[in-house]
Amino acid sequence: AQIVEIPLHEIKELAGLLATGGFSAAESYTWHRHLLAQGESQYDPRVAARILKGANMKAFEYLDLQAGRVAWIARMQAALNSVDAALSPTVPIEGPTLASVAPGAERDDAFFAANGLLLRNTSVVNMFDGCALSLPMHHAGELPTSLMVWQGPMKDDDVLNISLAIEKALRTA
């Protein structure tokens, strides 16, 4: 096996593509809008805030998002054509302490910042319609971390086989 670094500039395009809230905001608002109207107070305020972002998405923005995603997937596939899989951390940071993100408006900024980082890398694979497997890589007594092995659509067998090979190599190392 050979590990090569590739730039994947396409990942930087995601912020612009998701600027209107992304699929999760639009689709969750579609599902929850009547429930929110009847009992928003029964929702976690942080969850409700994320869902309510979908209320402002216009139909043309959703359709543009769909078309943009199709084009972005094609660019990502072209960028990853020369490799069997991509490797990245599953999350770019260790999990925050519960105290730092506990419910409370005074901690909302910290919560949303940490939440965004914790979802960032896996969101790339989700938007890519890809598949991924996370291999634990932390030492006993440390906060859990993992290596994400990922590739594009319909590459499940490749990701599973590569992950198994990595696991075997690390076990004997």
Q: Is the pTM of this model over 0.85?
A: yes
pLDDT band at 114 (very low <50, low <70, confident <90, very high): very high
Check pLDDT > 90 for residue 44. yes
pLDDT digits (tens, 9 = 90+) for 133-166: 999 988 888 888 899 999 999 999 999 999 999 9
Q: Which residues contact 1 (CB under 8 A, 6 or more apart)?
A: 165, 169
Domain layout of the chain by residue ranges: 9-20+58-172
d(CA 54, CA 112): 17
Residue 118's identity, in one-letter code, is L
Res 142: pLDDT: 86
Predicted local confidence at residue 27, as pLDDT: 97
